[in-house]
Amino acid sequence: MRLAVFLVSLVIAAMLAGEARAGWVHIRYGENNSCIVSLTGSITLANANFFEAVTADCTSGGVLLESNGGLVEPALHIGELIRQRGLETAVAYDARCASACALIWLGGVKRNIFPSSRIGFHAAYVMDGDVARETGVGNALIGSYLTTMGLPRRSIIFITSADPKSVNWLDYRDAVDLGIGINLLGETDRAWIDDIRASDPHYTPL
């Protein structure tokens, strides 16, 4: 029998936009194969692999996200795992989930946000020296992923149209117009967000 609550965490040093920022995956297991995961900081291959391992038996629960982004392919893999495991995604009040993080958020069977959540998208890119250049392969992978997630063409255009130096920020009004299904959270939901954050000994806001 698995203990009703079990904590696992991992820190992975990563580089994002020239600034060191640790990427954390923290999981709290509950009864009946439920789990609550918090994922903060840079999205990397290492924390994608860790996420896959520690959520292998999860069949319900959710993932709280707070990140400026990271690598596209690990993010898409995490998003696919979230959908396969039947997990919800959420971005906390006044929190930011941008770039690769936003792609993960789209994987949720229910996508939760507050009016003050900031979710941002831009085209995939690779670094050519100090210059960020769009990559057709990356955008093709994103387009395929978004189609698999059931998103309409107009949302795919919005998600991939901003250049690497820009961000298309999504709010709940845009989501409705773009056909991106969301669940809008309110003041009474702050308590369980705060509980998840408090259970993660490594959590620090971006």
Is it the case that residue 90 has pLDDT exceeding 70? yes
Model-level pTM?
0.89
d(C-alpha 151, C-alpha 146), whole Å: 6
What contacts 72, CB < 8 A, 6 or more positions away?
A: 100, 103, 124, 138, 141, 142
What b/e sequence results for 94-129 when a residue is b if at least 16 CB atoms lie within 10 Å of its CB, and e otherwise? ebbbbbbbbbbbbbbeebbbbeebbbbbbbbbeeee
What contacts 134, CB < 8 A, 6 or more positions away?
A: 123, 124, 125, 163, 164
What CATH number does the domain located at 7-121+169-199 have? 3.90.226.10
Task: Find out whether 202 and 8 touch, Cβ atoms under 8 Å.
Answer: no
pLDDT, tens only, 99-141? 999 999 999 999 999 999 999 999 888 877 887 787 788 889 9
Q: Residue ranges per domain, the chain?
A: 7-121+169-199
pLDDT, tens only, 3-36? 333 333 333 333 333 333 568 899 999 999 999 9
Predicted local confidence at residue 124, as pLDDT: 86
